[in-house]
Amino acid sequence: MTERPIIAPASGQDQPLAAADISQLVAVTLRLAMELSALRERVATHESLLQRHGLLDTATVDAYQPSGDETAQRLQQARALIESLSRDLGAPS
């Protein structure tokens, strides 16, 4: 029995993924999972501390609108993460 390549859609075409590509995808996925786990832990810690000191109102947090400068900084950080992940995948940035 011959092994069939894994197919992933790209630009409307099916393109087989090489083993090296799959390895890169796994590495990126694990990196994102680790980042997400660390962020969840930190957010939970912050929320617990703020609630403990009576400083957290969940409705206020949910309704928060960042300033223009904060939004720009968030976008810059998101772009840096995407560029880093693109480098991990060997894609041009």
Give the per-residue pLDDT at 55: 92
pLDDT of residue 12: 47
35-49 pLDDT, tens digit each:
999 999 999 999 889
C-alpha distances out from residue 42 to 16, 37, 72, 88, Å: 39, 9, 22, 25
Higher pLDDT, 10 or 75: 75
Predicted local confidence at residue 43, as pLDDT: 94
In the chain, alpha helices (H): 19-52, 58-63, 68-89
The pTM score is 0.52
What per-residue confidence (pLDDT) applies to 13? 58
Domain locations along the chain: 15-57+64-89
- pLDDT, one tens digit per residue, over 62-92 is 899 999 999 999 999 999 988 887 887 776 5
The span from the CA of 40 to the CA of 47, in Å, is: 10
Dihedral angle of Cα 37, 38, 43, 45, to the nearest 10 degrees: 110
What pLDDT is stored for residue 62 in this prediction? 84
